[in-house]
């Protein structure tokens, strides 16, 4: 199942620099692990924000929930999830099925 996920991060301004650095490093490592596994298909930065829009390809809602819950920055995130379905006008989808 494909999901579009908008993630907005709001770290506290008074968060200790060493804690922030650790969280960001672990977040980056986890994100890369999920990308290599094929479950985090795309990630785009939202210009001017500490935010991204990503596409996940997972088995079901529960798998996505667990992946998001395990993000090191999860406690500081506002997340919006949109399930995706193939659009009948998608030319690229026609090419993939040929």
Residue 83 is encoded by which pair of tokens?
């399930």
**Residues 67 and 27: beta-carbon distance below 8 Å:** no
Q: What is the pLDDT of residue 90?
A: 86
Least confident of 9-18, 22-31, 53-62, 87-96: 87-96
Q: What is the pLDDT of residues 36-53, one digit of tens each?
A: 999 999 999 999 999 999
Comparison of pLDDT for 52 and 93, the residue scoring more: 52
Question: What torsion, rounded to 10 degrees, do the Cα atoms 65, 57, 74, 43 define?
Answer: -160
Q: What is the pLDDT of residue 14?
A: 96
- Provide the mean pLDDT of the chain: 95
Q: Where are the chain's structural domains?
A: 2-97
Query: Phi/psi of residue 70, each to 5°?
Result: -80, -5
pTM score, whole prediction: 0.88
| CA terminus-to-terminus distance, the chain | 21
Q: Which CATH number does 2-97 carry?
A: 3.30.70.1060
Mean pLDDT across the stretch 54-77?
98
Contacts from 21-30 at CB under 8 Å and sequence distance 24+? Answer: 23/72, 23/73, 23/76, 24/73, 26/72, 27/71, 27/72, 27/73, 30/70, 30/71, 30/72
């Amino acid at each position: 199942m494909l999901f579009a996920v908008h993630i907005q991060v709001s770290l506290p301004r008074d968060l200790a620099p060493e804690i922030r650095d650790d969280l960001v490093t672990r977040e980056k490592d986890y994100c890369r692990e999920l990308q290599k596994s094929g479950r985090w298909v795309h990630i785009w930065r939202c210009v001017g924000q500490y935010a991204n829009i990503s596409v996940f390809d997972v088995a079901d809602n529960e798998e996505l929930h667990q992946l998001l819950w395990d993000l090191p920055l999860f406690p500081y995130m506002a997340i919006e999830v949109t399930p995706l379905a193939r659009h009948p006008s998608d030319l690229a989808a026609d090419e993939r099925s040929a």
